[in-house]
């Protein structure tokens, strides 16, 4: 550790205390595990995060799977239902842009 800077934090989870990573509510994250949801703007327009190619955009509700998300507790990521192979890509926020990328690692 360099001074007061913390570079990585890890949790030790003993197998007899491990939680089910496929269902339930992840209290620490404030999200339901594997339950589908939409991300809606609080502005008056009430539009939703959608994907065009792999970039997040704001659009009106259109029923496309690219507007549907779920929380993957195992990888601690938000995954998109409609991009590429269903549930294979995760949300990534860089600067002011939102992208999705494969979760192969």
Instruction: Tell me the per-residue pLDDT of 4-55, one tens digit each, with 9 for 90 and over.
Output: 777 677 766 666 766 788 899 998 889 999 999 999 988 888 999 898 888 8
Q: Residue 75 is encoded by which pair of tokens?
A: 């990888």
Q: Report pLDDT digits (tens) over 32-45.
A: 999 999 999 888 88
What tokens appear for 71 in the block? 């929380």
User: Which of 34, 57, 60 minimizes the C-alpha distance to 46?
Assistant: 60
Task: Judge whether residue 97 has pLDDT over 50.
Answer: yes
Provide the percentage of residues in the chain whose pLDDT is more than 70.
79
- Round to whole Å and give the CA distance between 48 and 68: 10
Nearest partner of 66 among 74, 76, 34, 56, judged by Cα: 56
Q: What is the pTM of this model?
A: 0.72
* Lookup: tokens for 6: 């913390």
């Amino acid at each position: 550790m360099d001074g007061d800077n913390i570079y990585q934090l890890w949790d030790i989870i003993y197998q007899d205390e491990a939680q089910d990573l496929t269902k339930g509510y992840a209290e620490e994250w404030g999200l339901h595990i594997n339950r589908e949801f939409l991300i809606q703007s609080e502005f008056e327009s009430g539009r939703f995060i959608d994907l065009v190619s792999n970039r997040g955009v704001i659009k009106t509700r259109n029923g496309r799977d690219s507007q549907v998300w779920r929380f993957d507790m195992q990888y601690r990521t938000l995954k998109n239902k409609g991009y590429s192979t269903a549930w294979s890509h995760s949300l990534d926020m860089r600067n002011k842009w939102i992208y999705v990328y494969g979760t192969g690692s």
